[in-house]
Amino acid sequence: MALSADESVRLGELLTSRAEPVTQRWTETIARQLRGRLSQAELVRQVQELHRAMVDALSKGAVDLNAEEATELRAVLAEFSRGQARQGFSATETATGVFALKEALLSTLKADQSVETLRDYVAFSAFVDQMGLFTFETFVRTRESLIADQAEQLLELSTPVVKLWEGVVAVPLVGTLDSARAQVVMERLLQTLVDTGSPYAIIDITGVPAVDTQVAQHILKTVVAARLMGADCIISGIRPQIAQTIVALGIEFGDIATKASLADALRHVLRLTGVETSRRQSRREA
């Protein structure tokens, strides 16, 4: 529901003329609900900024929140709810902070009980509802991006690539591997091969309880990609259940080296490099 241009200007005037009691009442309502989790000065600053942006938008004739004139107001609201989301306030608390304006306004209108005023209040109330919903949405979006950031940080933490020997790196995978994590691990592994100039990589999946087709495919693709780059991968620590899954899913591990344990895999690699050196030596003797 949109305001008429008339109503919008009238409300702007109302907010200006009653600026003091409205903002004060508004601040009080929010403060009661937040119970001191935000400093009074900060709260006053936020409320005054919202008030100023509203007056600004309404006096320019904004008929609803999506109007061109309300761009500034939307920015202020978005900033408000982003701040709330970051500081750990709930979505309800954030939206109620905006809805509190209705109560504040109503209490300052109590004296004047004409029908005209009532109509204005209803129209105005719809506008505040829009503001509340907008705040809510921004809040949710901010939270979502926070969660995404944290998930990413968690991925970084949970995927170490370690140098095991000169020319040998290993990734000990622990926990459930979903497709996204498998991808991160694999990219990290390949980059480490380049950074350390290691021609051998061991992917140890002892700590992985289960693999599905997608994850198995990721591991396979990594092995192939490593080969394209000139490095060899060995997979170690395949549990019996995982071996069964791999066969049941019909995934071809082909000529990829698999070893029972990380130690076996390392021994295998050392023997490979060792064989080369001894061969070279024997040739020199010959």
Site for another protein contains 221 (CB under 8 A): yes
Binding range to another protein, per CB under 8 A, among 3-11, 39-47, 168-176, 181-189: 181-189
193 binds another protein (CB under 8 A): yes
Binding mask 243-282 for another protein (x = CB under 8 A): ---------------------------------x---x--
Q: Which string of b and e fits 252-274 if b means at least 16 CB within 10 Å?
A: ebeebbbbeebeebbebbbeeee
Of 151, 134, 149, the closest CA to residue 94 belongs to 134
Please identify, using beta-carbon distances, which residue of 8 and 198 lies nearer to another protein: 198
Nearer to another protein, 60 or 188 (CB): 188
Interface residue with another protein among 36, 88, 230, 250 (CB under 8 A) is 230
Residue that has been written with the tokens 């899913």 in this structure: 249
Dist. CA 156–CA 177, nearest whole Å: 13
* Residue partners of 3: CB distance under 8 A and separation at least 6: 11, 62, 63, 64, 123, 124, 126, 127
Interface residue with another protein, options 224, 247, 260, 263 (CB under 8 A): 224
Site for another protein in 101-120 (CB under 8 A): none
What is the dihedral angle through the alpha carbons of 193, 199, 205, 211, rounded to the nearest 10 degrees? 80
The DSSP result for 125-173, as a single string, is HHHHHHHHHHHHHHHHHHHHHHHHHHHHHHHHHT---EEEETTEEEEEE
List 35, 41, 112, 197, residue binding another protein (CB under 8 A)? 197
Nearer of residues 230 and 240 to another protein, judged by Cβ: 230
Which of 135, 187, 188 is closest to 160 using CA atoms? 188
Q: Within its chain, how far is the Cα of 230 from the centroid?
A: 36
226 binds another protein (CB under 8 A): yes
Count of residues in contact with another protein, rule CB under 8 A = 24
Q: Is residue 163 a contact point for another protein (CB under 8 A)?
A: no
Q: Which is nearer to another protein, 145 or 241 (CB)?
A: 145
* Nearer residue to another protein within complex by CB, 137 or 264: 137
Q: Does 63 bind another protein (CB under 8 A)?
A: no
Contact residues toward another protein (CB under 8 A) are: 144, 180, 183, 186-187, 190-191, 193-194, 197-199, 221, 224-231, 276, 280, 283
